[in-house]
C-alpha cells in the first residue's frame, strides 16, 4: 500500500510542478521587437539588433533577452500541429537564430498566446501548450511572452498555469512573462506560475495620451498607484520581488512620440518600479543621448537592486505640478524620483522631510546630472524641463 502511495505521489509531481525557480531574481532586461517593428520583424532585424547591442554597450549593461514578439510564425501549423517560423521572415529558422544569439551572449525570447490565435491573428498555443513548449525548448528559447487574445471563456489562471507546467515539463529553464494585461489581477495568483506579469494594457510612445487600448507611460505609472488600494509600501508593489515582477509594459524610450526629457523620466520610473527593462526602440539607429539613458549604470543599478522592492508614490500635488515617488534599496539607501508634471519648464522643490517613509539624514546624489546635491536637511530645488525628473539616490549621512 505504502509503495502504491509513493508511486502515485511520485507520478503526480510533474502535474504540481511550479515555475522555473532561481531565474529573473532581478527584473529581466532586454529588447522586444513589438513597439517599433510590430509585424515587420524578421531575422535580419534581430541579428542587426544583437550586433548593435554589443557595439553600443547595451548587452554589457545587462540587456540580454532578445524577444521576438507576435507575427513570427506561419499562419498555419504544420501537418503534425507544430508551430513553424515564417520562412520569408526567418529563412534560417528559429534554432539557428537562437544559436546566433547564444553565441553572442544573449538569451532568446519568443512570443505566443494562451488563446486560439495571437493578437495579430497567428496560431495561439491553446490545446498545444506541451507541444509548443517542447518546440521552444528545441529552439533554445529562454523567455516566453504569453499573450491573452482570443481566449474565449478560458480561465486565466488555468491557461497560464498549463503553459507554466508545460515549460517545466519541456525541461529548459524559461522566464515566463504573462501578458494578461492585469484583467484577472495576476499579481494575486501568478507568483508560483511566472516571473513577470503585465499589470495594464499596452503602452505607446506618448507621455499621457490614450489611443483606444494604448496608453502613454504616465497613465500606466498612475495605474501602478491606483490598481491596489492601501498605497505606499502596501500597494501593488507588495506583490513584486525577486523572481516575480509587476510589468507595466515595455519601454518606449527613444521612440518618436517622447521628448528626450520624457524618455529620461519614463526610464527613471521604470527603474524605480523595479519593472522589467525591455527596450522597444530601434537600437540600431538611436541618438547618443538615448543610448546614454538606456545604458546608465546608476539608473540600472536602482532597477536591479537585489532587494527587488518596487517604488511607490509618496506625494502628488497637482497644484504644485509635482509628483514624488520613492524606492527603498537593499542597503539602507533610498531613491527619490520627482517629476515635473507641468507642460513647461519649472523649478521643482523636494521637501525631503515630507517623505514620511524615509527617516534620518541622507546625502543626495543627482543620478542624471552625476553630482552631489547636498543633504536632506534642507529642501532641494532644481530646474526641470516639462515632464522631466530629478532622480536622486539617498545615502545615509554620518
Scanning 113-121, 220-228, 282-290, 330-338 for contacts with ligand GLA by CB under 6 A, the matching segment is: 113-121
CB of 208 to ligand GLA, least distance (A): 19
Q: Which is nearer to ligand GLA, 213 or 356 (CB)?
A: 213
Can you tell me the distance from the alpha carbon of 217 to that of 59, in angstroms, rounded to the nearest whole number?
24
Mapped onto helix, strand or coil, the DSSP state of residue 214 is: strand
Which H/E stretch holds residue 3? helix 2-16
Binding of residue 323 to ligand GLA (CB under 6 A)? no
**Interface pick for ligand GLA out of 43, 129, 147, 388 (rule CB under 6 A):** 147
43 versus 202: smaller Cβ distance to ligand GLA: 202
**Which of these ranges, 91-99, 118-126, 297-305, 343-351, lies near ligand GLA under the rule CB under 6 A?**
118-126
How many other β-carbons are positioned within 10 Å of the β-carbon of residue 100? Answer: 18
Site membership for ligand GLA, residue 69 (CB under 6 A) = yes
Give how far the C-alpha of residue 52 lies from the chain's centroid of Cα atoms, to the nearest Å. 21
Residues of this chain, 196-235, that bind ligand GLA according to CB under 6 A: 202
**Which CB, 110 or 394, lies closer to ligand GLA?**
110
- Smallest gap from residue 273 Cβ to ligand GLA (A): 17
* Nearest to ligand GLA of 111, 362 (CB atom): 111
> Is 147 assigned a catalytic role?
yes
Cβ-based nearer residue to ligand GLA, 147 or 328: 147
Window 16-35: contact mask with ligand GLA (x via CB under 6 A): ------------------x-
- Minimum separation from the CB atom of position 88 to ligand GLA (A): 19
CB nearer ligand GLA, residue 41 or residue 326: 41
Let me know: does 156 contact 184? Beta carbons within 8 Å: yes
10 Å Cβ neighbour count for 191? Answer: 18
Cell 503526480, residue located: 12
- Number of residues near ligand GLA (by CB under 6 A): 9
Catalytic residue among 70, 132, 147, 305: 147
Q: What angle do CA 79, 85, 91 make, to 5 degrees?
A: 120
Residue 179 binds ligand GLA, judged by CB under 6 A: yes
Cell of 172: 529548459
* Catalytic option among 202, 205, 249, 296: 202
Closer to ligand GLA at the Cβ: 69 or 252?
A: 69
Burial of 282 (0-12, 13-18, 19+ CB in 10 A): middle
Identify whether the C-beta of residue 111 lies closer than 8 Å to the C-beta of residue 68: yes
Q: Tell me, letter by letter, the H, E, C secondary structure of 294-363.
A: HCCHHHHHHHCCCCCCCCEEEEEECCCCEEEEEEECCCCCEEEEEEECCCCCEEEEECHHHCCCCCCCEE
Distances (CA, A) of 191 to 115, 142, 147, 180, 356: 21, 18, 17, 14, 30
Is residue 240 within 8 A of residue 308, CB to CB? The reply is yes
Instruction: Say which residues have a Cβ less than 8 Å from residue 327's Cβ, sequence separation at least 6.
Output: 272, 273, 274, 302, 305, 309, 310, 311, 312, 334, 335, 337
Q: Using CB under 6 A, which of 20, 53, 70, 300 touches ligand GLA?
A: 70
CB of 213 to ligand GLA, least distance (A): 7
120 touching ligand GLA, by CB under 6 A: yes
H or E stretch at 373: strand 371-375
Q: How far is the CB of 118 from ligand GLA (least distance, A)?
A: 6
The CB-of-370 to ligand GLA minimum distance in angstroms stands at 34
Which residue's entry shows cell 526610464? 267
Shortest distance, CB of residue 119 to ligand GLA, whole angstroms?
3
- Rule CB under 6 A: say whether 63 interacts with ligand GLA: no
Residue with cell 495568483: 189
Task: Provide the binding-site residues for ligand GLA, judged by CB under 6 A.
Answer: 34, 69-70, 118-120, 147, 179, 202
Q: Which residues are identified as catalytic?
A: 147, 202
Amino acid at each position: 500500500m505504502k509503495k502504491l502511495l509513493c508511486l502515485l505521489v511520485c507520478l503526480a509531481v510533474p502535474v504540481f510542478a511550479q515555475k522555473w525557480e532561481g531565474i529573473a531574481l532581478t527584473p529581466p532586461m532586454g529588447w522586444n521587437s513589438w513597439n517599433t517593428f510590430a509585424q515587420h520583424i524578421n531575422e535580419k532585424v534581430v541579428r542587426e539588433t544583437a550586433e548593435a547591442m554589443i557595439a553600443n554597450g547595451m548587452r554589457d549593461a545587462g540587456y540580454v533577452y532578445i524577444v521576438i514578439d507576435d507575427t513570427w510564425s506561419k499562419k498555419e501549423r504544420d501537418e503534425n500541429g507544430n508551430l513553424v517560423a515564417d520562412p520569408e521572415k526567418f529563412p534560417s529558422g528559429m534554432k539557428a537564430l537562437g544559436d546566433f544569439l547564444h553565441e553572442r551572449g544573449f538569451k532568446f525570447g519568443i512570443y505566443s498566446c494562451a488563446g486560439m490565435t495571437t493578437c495579430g491573428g497567428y496560431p495561439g498555443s491553446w490545446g498545444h501548450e506541451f507541444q509548443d513548449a517542447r518546440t521552444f525548448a528545441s529552439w533554445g528559447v529562454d523567455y516566453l511572452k504569453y499573450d491573452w487574445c482570443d481566449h474565449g471563456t478560458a480561465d486565466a489562471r488555468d491557461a497560464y498555469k498549463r503553459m507554466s507546467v508545460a515549460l517545466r515539463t519541456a525541461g529548459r529553464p524559461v522566464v515566463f512573462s504573462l501578458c494578461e494585461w492585469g484583467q484577472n489581477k495576476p499579481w494575486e495568483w501568478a507568483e508560483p506560475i511566472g516571473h513577470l506579469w503585465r499589470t495594464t494594457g499596452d503602452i505607446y510612445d506618448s507621455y499621457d495620451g490614450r489611443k483606444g487600448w494604448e496608453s502613454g507611460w504616465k497613465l500606466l505609472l498612475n495605474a501602478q498607484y491606483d490598481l491596489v488600494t492601501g498605497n505606499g509600501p502596501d500597494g501593488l508593489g507588495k506583490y513584486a520581488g525577486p523572481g516575480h515582477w509587476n510589468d507595466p509594459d515595455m519601454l518606449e524610450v527613444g521612440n518618436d512620440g517622447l521628448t528626450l526629457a520624457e524618455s529620461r523620466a519614463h526610464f527613471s520610473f521604470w527603474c524605480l518600479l523595479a519593472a522589467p527593462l525591455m527596450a522597444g526602440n530601434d537600437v540600431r539607429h538611436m541618438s547618443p543621448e538615448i543610448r546614454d539613458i538606456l545604458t546608465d549604470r546608476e539608473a540600472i543599478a536602482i532597477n536591479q537592486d537585489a532587494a527587488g522592492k518596487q517604488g511607490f508614490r509618496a506625494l502628488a500635488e497637482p497644484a504644485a505640478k509635482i509628483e514624488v515617488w520613492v524606492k527603498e534599496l537593499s542597503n539602507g539607501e533610498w531613491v527619490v524620483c520627482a517629476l515635473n508634471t507641468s507642460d513647461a519648464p519649472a523649478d521643482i522643490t523636494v521637501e525631503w522631510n515630507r517623505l514620511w517613509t524615509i527617516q534620518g539624514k541622507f546625502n543626495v546624489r543627482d543620478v542624471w546630472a552625476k553630482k552631489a546635491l547636498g543633504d536632506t536637511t534642507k529642501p532641494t530645488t532644481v530646474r526641470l524641463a516639462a515632464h522631466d525628473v530629478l532622480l536622486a539616490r539617498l545615502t545615509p549621512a554620518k
